[in-house]
Structure 1
Amino acid sequence: MGTDKGISRREALARIGMIVAGIATSSIGLSALSSCAEKPQKKRIILYFTATGNCLHVARQLAEPEGQLLSIPQMVRQNRYEFEADEIGIVYPIYGHMPPNMVRNFIRKAKLKAGYKFAVLTYGARKCDAVEIWDGISREAGNPFDYIATLIMVDNWLPNFDMNEQIKIEKHIPENLQRITGDISRRREWHEPVSEEERQMHAGFMTLSGLDPEVGFLKKSERYFVVTENCIGCGACTDVCPRGNYEFTSNGIAMQGDCDFCFACIQNCPQKAIQFKKNDEDPLLAKGERNPNARYRNENISLMDIKRANRQ
């Protein structure tokens, strides 16, 4: 075959093959470069304490879509206190404006390694100086937080509030939670301000309650709760108590031990068989309950969710 100014058929096919191969290689290269250019997903750990599901609901929202949810009672049970991630958050309910005793002791032992740490504190009526209290406790423990905010939710403090009335109150939870989620996504560094009036309100509460500020709520369950004849032995209380204070005995359900006063037992009993003992010596319980027939669990959280979070 002549060449002249043209090329042979064999050469033409070879050149076409090289062009096709080049296009394929280029395509693969662009794909690889595009993949490399994607930002790696930030690893986020959410540690939470829950009794009626409010904090578990919040923790789930903050963990989406790829975050890891870890129950503080389960971490305590496993003696697990070291955590490392890009971001670490903690969600807990305030009791008397203070963290649950278990959360307080957990943060004192914990080693949190993260570029950004945040805390969301839920409450129902008054937050007072909860932010400053947590800031002080966590800093003393060597775990300062970049962001601390409070979130108002349904108040489940049975001595003062009727649960049937509480669930009717509009507290704009979705909007407030969305704002907090946005702050955290932007890694905002901020502590919610506390007023002098709020500090004085907390001081007044501590005087009234007689609680130790270094301990917070820590009662004896056998002194404050009683299992009534409505009990059918379902065992829910043995699973939902974060301290494992309830157990089956030959005489039915019995409880004993240090109590965070989280009310997981009394709020989650399907038969409403757990109630407060009459205790005239404790100013917080001198009047009993507002409505012994009303109980509360967050509508987004199941009884099994609470069991999984707290079972000891």
Structure 2
Amino acid sequence: MKKEIYYFSGTGNSLVVARNIAEKIDAKLTPISSVIDKENIEIDADVIGIIFPFYYLNSTGMPLIISRFIKKLTNISKKYIFAVCTYGGSPYLVIKNLSKIIESSGGKLAAGFGVHMPQCAFKKPFENKKKILDKTEKKVDIICEYITSQKKGRYETDNIFVRLIVVLIRPIAIKEGLKSFKKLAKLPDSSNLSFEELILLSDNSYYTDEKCNGCGICSKICPVNNIKIINNKPVWQNHCENCLACFNWCPKEAIHGGIAPNEYKYHHPDVKLSDMLRQN
């Protein structure tokens, strides 16, 4: 039985989970960025895993590339499909949202899991990264046992209490999210662009300082080829996924702006730059 895991990762959190699961269930590991430009993506494997980070409370919760990827999949009606969402705060309803997109493409999500990982977009003052990562290993074992047994029906979401809180704050998150991303995109408050469209333009906020030496790492590591090096400086091309790869992996820490406040930088301690570059 062939198994293949597709993953998307900017800081390495989802890569580590994908890599560990692939090793334990003997699956081929494929970065989504390596196939996303195909018109149709034919799946040869019998078992398909989709692993990605949770992004925005005021949308589906998925990176935009995940939705595009699923809509390109063909011949998935009889596949065993599972998903894993890595998150720093809450998985909310991202697994259920993902299942709807998979069904619209002719497949069915057999199981979906959430894996708590260190926050990568902002600093949590009391976050114990080591403790979180230790728990991650145990959760991966649980996921692998479920997948190997071909079980179905498990969709992990927040508990009822957390979901009630999210329901209360989500309208505020939607309003403030639109306002914030209009600012990042350098558009007026009167702009009628959707949140998804604003995400793509949020790279208008990025810039480099005098430490930039034109090495091109940012261009090479971007999973959607959104950065060109022009006159030894990166120029963002307005189809950003907000994965923070360029921001976090710049060897000179010369990139600023975007959604990461207070210059907080993070990437998974078990992931090397070479691992990330292999995605592309």
Shorter chain as normaliser: what TM range? 0.7 to 0.9
Equivalent in the alignment of 2:35: 75
Equivalent in the alignment of 1:26: none
Tell me how far 1:64 sits from its aligned partner: 1.8
5+ unaligned residues in a row in structure 1: which ranges?
1-41, 278-284
Matches within 5 A, 1:283-302: 289-290=261-262, 292=263, 294-302=264-272
Equivalent in the alignment of 1:247: 228
Equivalent in the alignment of 1:103: 66
What is the distance in 2 between the residues matched to 1:216 and 1:122? 23
Alignment of 1:303 onto 2:273: yes
Residue type at the aligned position of 1:105: R
- Work out which of the residue numbers 106, 129, 132 in structure 2 matches 1:168: 129
1:248 is paired with a residue whose SS is strand
Say if 1:135 and 1:145, in contact at 8 Å, map to a contact too. yes
1:266 is paired with a residue whose SS is helix
Alignment of 1:197 onto 2:164: yes
What is the distance in 2 between the residues matched to 1:123 and 1:217? 22
Say if 1:88 and 1:112, in contact at 8 Å, map to a contact too. no
Say if 2:92 and 2:157, in contact at 8 Å, map to a contact too. no
Say if 2:114 and 2:157, in contact at 8 Å, map to a contact too. no
Point out the structure with max Rg over C-alpha: 1
Q: 1:87 to 1:245 in 2, by over 3 A?
A: same
Tell me how far 1:141 sits from its aligned partner: 2.5
Equivalent in the alignment of 2:151: 188
Tell me how far 1:208 sits from its aligned partner: 2.7
Residue type at the aligned position of 2:97: I
Q: 1:198 to 1:165 in 2, by over 3 A?
A: closer
Q: 1:245 to 1:213 in 2, by over 3 A?
A: closer
What is the distance in 2 between the residues matched to 1:217 and 1:154? 26
Q: 1:187 to 1:306 in 2, by over 3 A?
A: same
1:272-306 Cα distance to aligned partner (Å, 9 max, x none): 110106xxxxxxx5xx723x2x4222122110111
Say if 1:124 and 1:156, in contact at 8 Å, map to a contact too. yes
Say if 2:55 and 2:62, in contact at 8 Å, map to a contact too. yes
Tell me how far 1:181 sits from its aligned partner: 1.7
Tell me how large the CA RMSD over aligned residues is.
Answer: 2.5
1:164-197 Cα distance to aligned partner (Å, 9 max, x none): 9756362221112221222112222111245341
Equivalent in the alignment of 1:119: 83
Residue type at the aligned position of 1:249: I
1:111-170 Cα distance to aligned partner (Å, 9 max, x none): 25354110001100122221222122222232321001111101101xx326x9756362
5+ unaligned residues in a row in structure 2: which ranges?
182-192
Equivalent in the alignment of 2:184: none
What is the distance in 2 between the residues matched to 1:217 and 1:300? 32
2:225 is paired with a residue whose SS is coil
Alignment of 1:265 onto 2:246: yes
**Count of residue pairs the alignment pairs up:** 255
2:261 is paired with a residue whose SS is coil
1:50 is paired with a residue whose SS is coil
Query: Which TM-score applies when normalising by structure 1?
Result: 0.74
Say if 2:83 and 2:112, in contact at 8 Å, map to a contact too. yes
2:267 is paired with a residue whose SS is coil
Q: 1:236 to 1:260 in 2, by over 3 A?
A: same
1:245-280 Cα distance to aligned partner (Å, 9 max, x none): 222222522222211111111011111110106xxx
What is the distance in 2 between the residues matched to 1:92 and 1:121? 5
What is the distance in 2 between the residues matched to 1:202 and 1:127? 14
What is the distance in 2 between the residues matched to 1:187 and 1:130? 22
2:91 is paired with a residue whose SS is coil
Residue type at the aligned position of 1:138: I
1:82-116 Cα distance to aligned partner (Å, 9 max, x none): 10222111101111141111111111121253541
Alignment of 1:226 onto 2:207: yes
Say if 2:213 and 2:232, in contact at 8 Å, map to a contact too. no
What is the distance in 2 between the residues matched to 1:274 and 1:193? 34
Query: Which TM-score applies when normalising by structure 2?
Result: 0.81
Give the fraction of aligned pairs with identical amino acids, expressed as a percent: 25
